[in-house]
Amino acid sequence: MKTALIFKKSSQSRLFTQKAIDELKKLGEVVLHDSDDLSPEAVKATIAGADIAITSWGNTALTEDILDCAPNLKFVMHAAGSVKPVVSDAMWERGIRIAASTKPLGIGVAETSLGFAISASKNFYQVNEDIHNGGWNDHRSSVKELYEITVGVISAGFVGRHFIKLMNNFGVEILVYDPYLTEERAAAMGAKKAELKELLNKSDIVSIHAPNIPATNNMFNAETLSWMKKDAVLINTSRGAIIDEKALYEHMVAGNLKYACLDVFNPEPPAVDNPLRTLKNVILTPHLAGLANNGLLRIGAHSVEEIQRFLNGERLECEVTKDMLATIA
C-alpha cells in the first residue's frame, strides 16, 4: 500500500510529527511531496500509484487527470478544515472516500470559545484595564461564574458538540439551535433544542459554531442582535460572514452587549479602519482558534488514526460525503 502526502513540503513538519510519519510507514510505503509547488503536474508526480492521498491547505481539486495517475486511490485524508477546495465530481464518481480534520481543529476552536466564555464572564478584559490604570475592585460586581446561567450554542456540528461537552462541566443550562438536530439528539448531548429567537432571548453567553453557507450569511444582524440580553456575551470562532459587522458595531457602540469576542472576520484580515477595532467591548483575536502552532500536530495524529480506521473497515470519525457539502463549511 502506498500513501502519498501531496501537500506543501513546508507544512509537513507543522502537521505531522516524525512519530506520525513512522506510524504511516508501518502501514506501507510513504511518499512525501518534495516542494511547495502544488501545480497539477507536481501533484501528479507525487500521487502516482497511491492508494491513499493526504491533502491540506493549499491543495486544489483532485481532478480527473490527477486521479488518472492513481487508479487505485480509494481514500483521501484532508489534513485541514473544509474539503471543498479538494473534492471533485471525479472523486465521487470513482467512489473515493474523503475525511477531514474536523475533530482536531474543532477541539482547539471549542476550547478557545470556552476561554472567551470564562474570561468574558469573569470580566478579565475590564478588570485588567482597571488595574493597569491604578484601580483594583472597580468592576467586581460585573464578574460572573459559569453557574446558573444559560449558554446558547449555534450549530451542533463537531465544534458545537465539543463546546457543549466542555460546558457540561459547569452548572449551566445549554440551549442549542440547529435545524438539523432532533430534540432527542440534543438531550443526549446534554442540551435543549431551541429556536433561534428563544435561544438569543434567554442566553447569557452565545457561542457561534455554524458553517458559512447561504442560510447563515449575516445570521446575526440588527434584528437578531436585538433579541439578545443587553449584558450577554457573543462569541464567534466560526466564520466572519455569519455576523453583519456594521450591525454589530452599531449594537456594540450603543453598549447593548457586555462583550463580543471575535476570532473571525469578513473579510480577513479586517480593514485597518474597521470600526470594530476601536471598541473596548469588542475583543479581537486573529483567527487563531483552530490554528494554534503546536495544536496543529493533532491533525497529523488524527490523520493517521483515520487512515487506520479506513484500512480496518471501521467507521470514520470525520468522513465527508457528497450530500453533506451543502450544509458544511
Instruction: Point out the catalytic residue in the list 287, 309, 317, 319.
Output: 287
**Distance separating the N- and C-terminal Cα atoms of the chain:** 31
The two beta strands, 192-193 and 205-208, are: unpaired
d(CA 99, CA 162): 18
Question: Alpha helix locations (H) across the chain?
Answer: 9-15, 18-27, 40-47, 64-67, 89-93, 102-121, 124-132, 158-167, 183-189, 196-202, 222-226, 245-253, 297-311
d(CA 144, CA 173): 15
Instruction: Point out the catalytic residue in the list 33, 161, 209, 239.
Output: 239
Secondary structure in 3-state letters for 256-292: CCCEEEECCCCCCCCCCCCHHHHCCCEEECCCCCCCC
Secondary structure in 3-state letters for 25-82: HHHCEEEECCCCCCCHHHHHHHHCCCCEEEECCCCCCCCHHHHCCCCCCCEEEECCCC
Instruction: Point out the catalytic residue in the list 148, 268, 277, 314.
Output: 268
Active site residue 268: yes
Number of neighbouring beta carbons within 10 Å of residue 274: 16
Cα 260 from chain centre? 18
Q: Which residues contact 75 (CB under 8 A, 6 or more apart)?
A: 51, 52, 53, 96, 97, 98, 99, 307, 310
Active site residue 287: yes
CA nearest to 209, candidates 297, 100, 286, 107: 107
Number of neighbouring beta carbons within 10 Å of residue 299: 27
CA nearest to 216, candidates 267, 264, 178: 178
Can you tell me which residue has the cell 449575516? 218
Residues forming the active site: 239, 268, 287
